[in-house]
Amino acid sequence: MGESVAGVAANVAQQAPAIDVDFALIGHQECWRAAADVLAVLRGPEHPPLPDDEIRDIFPWIPPRAICHVEAGSIAGGKARGVYIDSFIPPDRLDANYMRDNLARVRGAAAYAIKAGAKIVSLGGFSSILIEGNLDQLPERHGTVFTTGNTLTVGFIVQGIKKMCALEGRNLRRSTLLIVGATGDVGSGCARCLAPVVKRVLLNARNMERLRTLAAELEADGVQVEIATGLQQFSAEADVAICAASLASPSLLLGRIAPGAIVCDAGYPKNLSPSGQMAGAKIFFGGLGQITGGLRFKPDFQGILNRHPFPDVVHGCLLEGMALALERRFEPFSQGRGFITPERVEEIETIAARHGIFLAPLYNADGPVEDGVECLAGWSAG
Ligand SMILES: NC(=O)c1ccc[n+]([C@@H]2O[C@H](COP(=O)([O-])OP(=O)(O)OC[C@H]3O[C@@H](n4cnc5c(N)ncnc54)[C@H](OP(=O)(O)O)[C@@H]3O)[C@@H](O)[C@H]2O)c1
């Protein structure tokens, strides 16, 4: 007998665990397959999987809620306890048309984190983009602080670019670097970290005024900069590209890049369109770290909330909150847009490394990009 949409949504919404937490992670699912897996765990193994169309009907009716406990271990000893709160934004509703509903969802998730007594909250993926400028509209915070997690994300993107260049025998100093979404929090942080070590930078976003402001800042430090709102307008091809635009779905076509260019897709959801033709490009997913002191979810969402081919890999934005919780440094480390500097990146990387949080092995849709790195059993490429 079929279950009603309202019935399933109410059942899933009720099962909030009792919580006692250092940190909260606010997230949303990147694709419908991930959303279906989350629902399956919440409903329990006694319920058969729901058909795809029912999942799409039910999902928007589930309010933001905690779905599991998270325990993060440090290599220095000690643990931090947290909770993962899903805002249940339907994966195909990230675009501007759903802005009000999505903002309400992230606010609901943030209120949940405050009520749970989280000392620090990491804002995953679009959560920080949506709530940016609206944090003052949250309920009274009682000591809960928020971090976008973007500083550690930038650190892992930059480390990934340097590692990929080393693996491919490329000289970053002779490279032209393209950043798509350059004026964003992640993009501008990457620009500040990498501009001093490349030959020149190409900055792309839609708003020309903001591009001019960033270009002026970099040029003042002697960087060679070109800006354009269209990717075809640049005078040179990029050898290295970072894709960090806030795109609602993987729709970016990079077009003209150098043959064999190194391309980092740091978007969540991914930026790059699967149909993009980039012959010989060395693509990897950026901004990911690995927590080597141990990571546990209860109930077990391993491989569902972190869908990567290696164990204990998590997005930098969420890891930043865990690293700060392990350090017992409950402060809004990353806040606002456009304030990420190389000094702050170094500071958060040092904190993360002290607790065993390092750059994750690099991979893309086909699997690992490094030789000799084993995938988790059961992980499927594509
Ligand atoms: N890997 C990770 O761990 C991680 C962590 C945090 C964030 N992220 C992801 O990184 C991306 C950026 O996040 P953010 O916090 O930096 O966002 P943000 O501050 O809102 O910046 C978004 C940037 O994208 C640009 N943009 C938007 N649409 C564009 C388009 N169609 N073409 C070119 N540029 C476009 C924006 O400028 P204009 O509006 O002027 O175009 C802006 O420069 C998101 O996908 C986010 O989910 C990943």
pLDDT digits 0-9 by tens, 165-174: 999 999 999 9
Among protein residues, the one whose CA lies closest to atom 42 of ligand 1: 184
Assign 379 a pLDDT band (cuts: 50, 70, 90): confident
User: What was the pLDDT predicted at 4?
Assistant: 63
User: What was the pLDDT predicted at 80?
Assistant: 98
Among protein residues, the one whose CA lies closest to atom 37 of ligand 1: 205
User: What Cα–Cα distance (Å) separates residue 207 from each residue in 127, 177, 180, 253, 272?
Assistant: 22, 19, 12, 18, 20
User: What was the pLDDT predicted at 1?
Assistant: 39
Residue range 261-320, pLDDT digits in tens: 999 999 999 999 998 878 789 999 999 999 999 999 999 888 888 888 899 999 999 999
Express as a percent the part of the chain with pLDDT over 70. 94
Residue 348's nearest CA partner among 379, 372, 376, 317 is 317
Q: With a 6 A CB cut-off, is 267 part of the ligand 1 pocket?
A: yes
User: What was the pLDDT predicted at 11?
Assistant: 56
Assign 92 a pLDDT band (cuts: 50, 70, 90): very high
Can you list the alpha helix ranges (DSSP code H) found in 52-182? Answer: 52-58, 99-115, 126-131, 150-168
Residue range 244-269, pLDDT digits in tens: 999 999 999 998 899 999 999 999 99
Q: With a 6 A CB cut-off, is 244 part of the ligand 1 pocket?
A: yes
Decide if pLDDT at 223 tops 70. Answer: yes
User: What was the pLDDT predicted at 239?
Assistant: 97
Encoding tokens for residue 318?
Answer: 């969420």
pLDDT (mean) for 214-222 = 98
Lowest-confidence pick of 87-101, 226-240, 271-285, 354-368: 271-285
Whole-number Å distance between alpha carbons of 262 and 140: 45
Whole-number Å distance between alpha carbons of 325 and 321: 6
Among protein residues, the one whose CA lies closest to atom 31 of ligand 1: 247
Domain boundaries, the chain: 5-150+289-361, 152-288
User: What was the pLDDT predicted at 236?
Assistant: 93
Rounded distance from Cα 41 to ligand 1 centre (Å) = 30
CATH of 152-288, one of 3.10.20.740, 3.20.20.70, 3.40.50.720, 3.40.50.1820: 3.40.50.720
Q: Which amino acid is at 193?
A: C
Decide if pLDDT at 50 tops 80. Answer: yes
pLDDT (mean) for 229-258 = 95
Could you give the count of Cα atoms lying within 13 Å of 221 in the half-sphere of its Cβ? 16
What is the CB neighbour count within 10 angstroms for residue 373?
A: 14
Encoding tokens for residue 327?
Answer: 């350090």
Residue range 4-36, pLDDT digits in tens: 655 555 555 555 445 569 999 999 999 999 999
Q: With a 6 A CB cut-off, is 270 part of the ligand 1 pocket?
A: no
Contacts of 55 (CB under 8 A, 6+ apart): 32, 35, 36, 39
Rounded distance from Cα 184 to ligand 1 centre (Å) = 5
User: What was the pLDDT predicted at 376?
Assistant: 81
Rounded distance from Cα 304 to ligand 1 centre (Å) = 24
- Mean confidence (pLDDT) of the chain: 92
Q: With a 6 A CB cut-off, is 124 part of the ligand 1 pocket?
A: no
User: What was the pLDDT predicted at 23?
Assistant: 98
